[in-house]
Amino acid sequence: MSDSTVLLATYRELDHTADALDSLRALGIADSDITLMSSVPYSHAMLGRPAMKTVLPVISLVSAILGFGVGLFYTVGTPTLYPISVGGQPFVPGPPTALLLYEFTMLFLIVGTFLGMMWINLFPSYGLQYFTKRLTDGRIALLIHCQADQEAAMRAVLEATKAEQIENAERRPL
Amino acid sequence: MSIEMTVSHALPLEDSHEEESRKRHLLLDPRPQEEMNQMVMDSMHRTGVEFWIVMAVLAVLALGGFLGGWLYQIRFGMGVAGIRKPVFWGVYITSFVFWIGISHSGTFVSAILRVFKVEWRRSITRAAELMTSTSLLVAVAFLGIHVGRTWRGYWIVPYPNQRTLWPNFHSPFLWDEMAILSYFIGSSLYLLLPLIPDLAMARDHSEGWRYKLYRILSLGWRGTEAEWRNLTLSMTVFAFAIIPVMFSVHTIVSWDFAMTRVIGWHSSIFAPYFIVGAIYSGVSAVVNILFLVRWNMKLSYFVREEHFEAFGKLMLILSFGWTYFFFADLLTEWYGGEAIGHTVLDIQFYGQMHPFWTIMVVCNIVIPWLTLWNRKVRRTPIALFFVALAVNVGMFMERYTIVTGFLRRSRLPFNWGTYQPSIVEVGIAVGSVATFLLLYGLLSRVIPMIPVWEVREGQLTHVLRRFGRTKVTAVSEWE
């Protein structure tokens, strides 16, 4: 591990960043060894990066199903435990039950999606991170994990693709 | 020769057209992101003496009127309110419905316009979303105020207990609880999601207590591909999920009325009527807030005449929609010819409710229809501000007429009555406006009011492209 290094290069232009990514790939750097950071959500297609898979839709769906189940418990289960006769309605009346099932489903979907996003992104994360403040001012950053003996070649590629700044990345407080 | 002449004449015209387009449209007038960040950060630090004087006055009104009135009522009981048999729903429920209506602004402006990819929304969504969360807080407080014994509010929470009492899920009030809870949680998280990158921006441009606060709130955001992917995906899920929740909230609020057998309330049209009214008042309230934000926080680069014009058009369309439902509801009762129905209408046309009913018609129909067809009015922020203010006064009167008017008359004349709000109720209602403005004003100095990354994204996708002799706006699909 001691012979590995992490480079942080910042770019002003998206085109130059995409060129850098192509060149790095040509040098044998895997996409998984490059982290891209930006102040706007550029799509993977713009950068020629592989599409990212996420389990967030699954989490949302499971949350919604869970919400439906909790709704069933409250609307069907509790009237059975505590029967209350209301206006000649059955203990489990159709329309109000449907309404509450809907509300519970949506509540769990929303909360589950948010918690899922937090979990997948490992938020909150207040430890030391590779980062540069220039990012939020519109720069695009490439974080490249490579072997120490590749560093010179990396730097040459990054300079050739008009990187604004190239530095050995250090973890720092955000 | 002729070609040269054409070119020499066309260039200045083209330049002026281009210049005009940039002036008008934020997304065609890009500035470096550093500069936009700085403008947003400066706006949050812009708190002069005048700002604090206004906040102090609002705090006095909020503490004296809203909180003081509420505490006074808790101390001396519900008798200090003007609600008496048969009018048991008064200004508190009117205010509750009004603030729930205002809360529809954020979701409508942000989620619906996001789903339909309406580009001008980008700079003004935050201001609208913040309105939703703050107005919902005020609305929920009115439920506590109205029920009197607020400290027993936990009785509506379903949990096993020794009394073997369980909340009655057949009741519209429990539906209300669930819908408002879902909407409050959903809209607060929906405010937070697109805010995370802006909080990170604020973190990187702050020092002292602000840095500590933004560092915590930004959750460790760096802007990696994975973070963006999951954030934008969850925003899409939220945008689609929050819209039906928004519709359900005001539908259920309307069913608090429509599920009863009160004449004038028991109507199947109430749900869409309330929703259109809510969006109408919500959009108008966004105009009021945007005007104040733009003027007070010096954000005229981000909030332009184009936004006011778009809102003016929306208000005009919504006023048509509201008038349609208002007329349909009125006509059905009037044409039915039932004596009690006419009695209820008579107190609106000629009786106790006439002043409020007239203000409602003037503010919700006459003023918008006389003014909003005019492009100049729509593009003049101060003019639109006053029209929007009138609409909100009108919408409060609409709720007051519906809530307190119809309860004054019933099928049994011995049960007829009247209603006069007490000073405590008026104080709490006025104090609620101050509370909302105070909360919003203070939060506007902590939360970045412009989603800079969304504006930047929009500016990257908008260009002026030549078509024949002129240049027109071309928009690229980002995804």
Share of chain B above pLDDT 70, in %: 96
A116's CB contacts (< 8 A; 6+ apart) are A55, A56, A59, A60, A63, B234
Beta bridge partners of residue B470, listed in sequence order:
B467
Instruction: Give B-chain residues touching A35 at CB under 8 angstroms.
Output: 224-225
Alpha carbon separation from A63 to A59, A112, A113, A117, B59 (Å, rounded): 6, 5, 7, 12, 41
CB contact B243 to A (< 8 Å):
no
Determine the average pLDDT of the residues in B106-121: 87
CB contact B115 to A (< 8 Å):
no
Residue the block writes with tokens 């928009």: B475
pLDDT of residue B3: 40
Residue B476: pLDDT over 90: no
Interface probe with B: pick from A12, A89, A136, A171, most Cβ of B within 10 Å: A136
**Co-location of A141 and A168 in the same domain:** yes
Between CA B294 and CA B127 the distance in angstroms is 10
Number of Cβ within 10 Å of residue A91's Cβ equals 14
Q: What is the DSSP letter of A92?
A: S
**Strands across the sheet containing A140-147:** A34-37, A140-147, A4-11, A165-168
Instruction: Give B-chain residues touching A122 at CB under 8 angstroms.
Output: 220
pLDDT of residue B6: 40
Between CA B277 and CA B428 the distance in angstroms is 23
Interface of A with B in 8-37 (CB under 8 A): 35-37
HSE (side-chain half, CA atoms, 13 Å) at B454: 25
* pLDDT tens digits for range A3-46: 889 999 999 999 999 999 999 999 999 999 999 999 999 999 99
CATH number at residue A43: 3.30.70.120
- Per-residue tokens: B201: 């921006």
Alpha carbon separation from B246 to A86, A103, B136 (Å, rounded): 28, 11, 12
Residue B5: pLDDT over 70: no
CB contact B32 to A (< 8 Å):
yes
**Co-location of A68 and A111 in the same domain:** yes
HSE (side-chain half, CA atoms, 13 Å) at B38: 5
H/E segment holding residue B443: helix B423-444
pLDDT of residue A32: 93
**Co-location of A49 and A76 in the same domain:** no
Determine the average pLDDT of the residues in B197-207: 96
Residue A87: pLDDT over 50: yes
Instruction: Quickly state the pLDDT bin for B9 (edges 50, 70, 90).
Output: very low
Domains of chain B: 2-475 (1.20.1630.10)
Question: DSSP letters along B285-341, please?
Answer: HHHHHHHHHHHHTT-TTTS-HHHHHHHHHHHHHHHHHHHHHHHHHHHHHHHH--HHH
Residue A83: pLDDT over 90: no
* pLDDT tens digits for range B382-411: 999 999 999 999 999 999 999 999 999 998
Instruction: Quickly state the pLDDT bin for B157 (edges 50, 70, 90).
Output: confident
Residue B59: pLDDT over 80: yes
Determine the average pLDDT of the residues in B171-175: 87
Interface of A with B in 107-146 (CB under 8 A): 107, 109-111, 113-114, 116-118, 120-127, 129-131, 133, 135-138
Tell me what the pLDDT averaged over chain A comes to. 92
Range of the domain at A138: 4-53+128-173
How many residues belong to chain A?
Answer: 174
The pTM assigned to this predicted structure is 0.93
pLDDT of residue A2: 54
* Contact flag A74-B225 (C-beta cutoff 8 Å): no
Number of Cβ within 10 Å of residue A153's Cβ equals 16
Instruction: Quickly state the pLDDT bin for B14 (edges 50, 70, 90).
Output: low
In terms of Cα–Cα distance, which of B50, B13, B95, B11 is closest to B292?
Answer: B50
Determine the average pLDDT of the residues in B82-93: 95
pLDDT of residue B15: 72
Q: CA nearest A94 in B: which residue?
A: B170
Between CA A75 and CA B457 the distance in angstroms is 45
**Co-location of A110 and A70 in the same domain:** yes
**Co-location of A23 and A64 in the same domain:** no
* Contact flag B168-A84 (C-beta cutoff 8 Å): yes
**Co-location of A63 and A110 in the same domain:** yes
Count of the separate structural domains present in chain A: 2
Between CA A5 and CA A7 the distance in angstroms is 7
* pLDDT tens digits for range B258-281: 999 898 999 999 999 999 999 999
pLDDT of residue B287: 97
Q: CB-based burial of residue B154 (10 Å sphere; 0-12 exposed, 13-18 middle, 19+ buried)?
A: exposed
Instruction: Give A-chain residues touching B158 at CB under 8 angstroms.
Output: 74, 78
Instruction: Give A-chain residues touching B165 at CB under 8 angstroms.
Output: 82
Residue B78: pLDDT over 90: yes
Residue B212: pLDDT over 50: yes
Buried b (16+ CB within 10 A) or exposed e, A56-79: beebbeebbebbbebbeebbeebb
Residue B7: pLDDT over 70: no
| Nearest CB neighbour to B219, from listed A123, A135, A138 | A123
Instruction: Give B-chain residues touching A75 at CB under 8 angstroms.
Output: 169
Share of chain A above pLDDT 90, in %: 74
Determine the average pLDDT of the residues in A115-120: 97
Residue B141: pLDDT over 60: yes
**Co-location of A39 and A69 in the same domain:** no
Determine the average pLDDT of the residues in A137-145: 94
- Per-residue tokens: B107: 């979701």
Residue B460: pLDDT over 50: yes
Q: Which residue has the higher pLDDT, A158 or B167?
A: A158
3-state secondary structure of B346: helix
Residue the block writes with tokens 């909302």: B436
B20-34, B300-314, B355-369 — which is least confidently predicted?
B20-34
**Co-location of A75 and A43 in the same domain:** no
**Co-location of A65 and A87 in the same domain:** yes
| Nearest CB neighbour to B234, from listed A78, A113, A124 | A113
Q: CB-based burial of residue A6 (10 Å sphere; 0-12 exposed, 13-18 middle, 19+ buried)?
A: middle
* Contact flag A121-B226 (C-beta cutoff 8 Å): yes
H/E segment holding residue A10: strand A4-11
**Co-location of A139 and A91 in the same domain:** no
Between CA A110 and CA B76 the distance in angstroms is 41
Determine the average pLDDT of the residues in B2-27: 66
Residue B334: pLDDT over 80: yes
Name the amino acid, one letter, at B460.
L
Determine the average pLDDT of the residues in B214-225: 96
pLDDT of residue A91: 83
Instruction: Quickly state the pLDDT bin for B13 (edges 50, 70, 90).
Output: low
**How many whole angstroms from its chain centre is CA B53?**
25
Share of chain B above pLDDT 90, in %: 78
Instruction: Quickly state the pLDDT bin for B241 (edges 50, 70, 90).
Output: very high
CB contact B222 to A (< 8 Å):
yes
